[in-house]
């Protein structure tokens, strides 16, 4: 820095912030190294783990919803306990998935596949039948989930993209 630049800098920031060029580099390197240890760069395994957590959330949520139906308005204690456990697992797994998967994508996949799975459980376990319009609606939900999954990328915070 020239003397004029140093004088202008001192006038703006005062003596407290007057650091010789290059003097901060070892501290910056140390901070960067510490930050790298605290927040290691995510690996591809984290993406797979996030998607597995999302699918665990979907299955647990569908199980909780089926248990809610089986509880007959929260009147049967066993299904209520199963429901509470399933919903706890569902939201813990969803929270883990949201660390990697963007919320819009995660919610679309979670709700779409959850609706489809609950519909299948209702048909198989509870004898509920769908008419043609309802089946088309479920098919469109599945098509939307496939489109979102196909053209979305999991973006890990701090990694860019």
**71-129 pLDDT, tens per residue?**
999 999 999 999 999 999 999 999 999 999 888 889 889 989 999 999 999 999 999 99
The closest alpha carbon to 66, from 134, 117, 137, belongs to: 117
Q: How confident is the model at residue 149 (pLDDT cuts 50, 70, 90)?
A: confident
**39-68 pLDDT, tens per residue?**
555 566 788 899 999 999 999 999 999 999
Q: Residue 15: pLDDT above 80?
A: no
Structure tokens at 3: 């003397």
C-alpha to C-alpha distance for 42 and 156, rounded to whole angstroms? 7
Sign of dihedral through CA atoms 31, 35, 36, 41? negative
Burial class (CB in 10 A: 0-12, 13-18, 19+), 57: buried
Residue-level pLDDT at 5: 66
Residue-level pLDDT at 160: 47
Q: Residue 161: pLDDT above 50?
A: no
The verdict on pTM exceeding 0.75 is no
What average pLDDT does range 153-158 have in this prediction?
A: 52
C-alpha to C-alpha distance for 126 and 129, rounded to whole angstroms? 9
- Residue with more model confidence, 151 or 103: 103
Residue-level pLDDT at 32: 55
- Residue with more model confidence, 108 or 159: 108
Q: Rounded to the nearest 5 degrees, what angle is found at the Cα of 107, between the Cα atoms of 126 and 161?
A: 150
The closest alpha carbon to 98, from 90, 108, 106, belongs to: 106
Residue-level pLDDT at 3: 67
């Amino acid at each position: 820095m020239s003397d004029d630049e140093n004088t202008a800098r001192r006038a703006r920031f005062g003596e407290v912030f007057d650091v010789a060029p290059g003097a901060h580099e070892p501290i910056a390197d140390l901070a960067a190294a510490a930050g790298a240890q605290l927040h290691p760069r995510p690996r591809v395994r984290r993406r797979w783990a996030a998607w597995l957590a999302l699918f665990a959330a979907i299955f647990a949520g569908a199980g909780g919803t089926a248990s809610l139906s089986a509880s007959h308005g929260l009147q049967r204690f066993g299904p209520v306990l199963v429901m509470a456990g399933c919903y706890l697992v569902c939201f813990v797994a969803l929270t883990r998935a949201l660390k990697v998967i963007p919320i819009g994508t995660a919610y679309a996949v979670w709700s779409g596949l959850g609706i489809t799975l609950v519909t299948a459980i209702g048909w198989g376990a509870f004898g509920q039948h769908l008419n043609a319009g309802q089946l088309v609606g479920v098919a469109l939900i599945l098509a939307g989930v496939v489109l979102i999954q196909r053209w979305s990328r999991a973006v890990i915070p701090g990694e860019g993209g």
